[in-house]
């Protein structure tokens, strides 16, 4: 009887130890996932992009059988007021800061984007890279009556989400979202879309397309004198060829706005370039 009790006590202790170890492991993993790794990559460019845009996104896609754009859309539908663009922007910013990072221009650089659009007050605008429609909503809400924003998105899944976000914000009457590669669509702007020139162009798509698409806009005569190009992520991930061109070309007067990669402390910025003709 004594041996049996000792054996039972030993087995109980072993199970308690095992469960305690499991609980400690789960707690450690949760701390690493939620706080330690995100804090560690806040100031590291490639660490932040690898963690947020590869590891976390793929893990959550697998666990939820969904996608980040769809999860972002649900956050908008749950927390934003329909027809209120500011509440849509706020809902996305909150989602990106407290739930999942996403590659929007973000709130910090978004305020720079707002100031450029408000100062220019453009009638015709072009956005290269819609993603989920965050910057589209930021731009469209500031446009004057009768103004037009054409936004190009290569990924049809992103475009499907962006249409719903734009509609939820109530700015769909000012926005024309077109799916397809920018290199094919830019030469069609005059004939297919009836655009003579753009007053404002926001570049926020594939970074290796910044320079070729800028050259296309020039060749197609789509930039009026005084038109403004505003390029995001010129430091992180970076667009060295575009910056070298735009800063050294006599056709542009360029200025850099220092900021941070969306929702992190990693240095990034926007390049504002005025087309001189």
Q: How confident is the model over 25-37, as pLDDT tens digits?
A: 555 455 444 555 6
Active site residue 248: no
Q: Is 135 annotated as a binding residue?
A: yes
Phi, psi of 178 (to 5 degrees): -120, 130
- 73 closest CA partner among 164, 182, 185: 164
Mean pLDDT over 214-220 rounds to 98
196 is catalytic: no
Same domain, residue pair 190 and 239: yes
Is 241 catalytic? The answer is: no
Looking at the fold, whether 132 and 58 belong to one and the same domain comes out as: no
In the predicted structure, residue 261 carries a pLDDT above the cut 80: yes
253 is in an annotated binding site: no
Domain-located, residue 123: yes
Model confidence at 105: pLDDT above 70: yes
Of 146, 136, 92, 144, the residue nearest 118 (C-alpha): 144
- What pLDDT does residue 32 have? 47
83: in domain: no
DSSP 81: P
Q: Active site includes 233?
A: yes
The domain containing residue 218 runs over which residues? 104-275
């Amino acid at each position: 009887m004594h041996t049996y009790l000792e054996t039972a006590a030993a087995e109980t202790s072993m199970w308690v130890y095992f469960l305690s170890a499991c609980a400690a492991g789960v707690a450690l993993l949760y701390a690493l996932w939620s706080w330690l790794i995100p804090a560690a990559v806040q100031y590291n460019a490639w660490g932040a992009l690898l963690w947020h845009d590869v590891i976390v996104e793929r893990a959550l896609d697998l666990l939820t059988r969904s996608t980040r754009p769809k999860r972002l859309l649900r956050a908008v539908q749950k927390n934003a007021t329909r027809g209120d663009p500011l509440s849509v922007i706020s809902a996305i910013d909150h989602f990106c800061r407290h739930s999942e990072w996403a590659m929007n221009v973000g709130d910090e650089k978004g305020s720079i984007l707002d100031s450029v659009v408000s100062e220019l007050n453009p009638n015709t605008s072009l956005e290269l890279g819609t993603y989920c429609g965050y910057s589209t909503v930021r731009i469209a809400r500031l446009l004057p009556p009768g103004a037009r924003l054409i936004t190009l998105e290569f990924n049809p899944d992103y475009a499907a989400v962006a249409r719903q976000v734009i509609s939820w914000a109530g700015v769909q009457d000012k926005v024309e979202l077109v799916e397809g590669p920018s290199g094919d669509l830019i030469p069609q702007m005059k004939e297919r879309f009836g655009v003579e020139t753009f007053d404002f162009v926001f570049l926020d798509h594939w970074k290796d397309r910044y320079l070729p698409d800028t050259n296309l806009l020039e060749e197609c005569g789509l930039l009026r004198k005084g038109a403004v190009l505003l390029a995001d992520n010129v430091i992180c991930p970076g667009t060295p060829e575009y910056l070298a061109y735009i800063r050294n070309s006599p056709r542009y007067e360029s200025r850099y706005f220092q900021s941070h990669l969306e929702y992190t402390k990693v240095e990034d910025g926007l390049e504002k370039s005025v087309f001189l003709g």
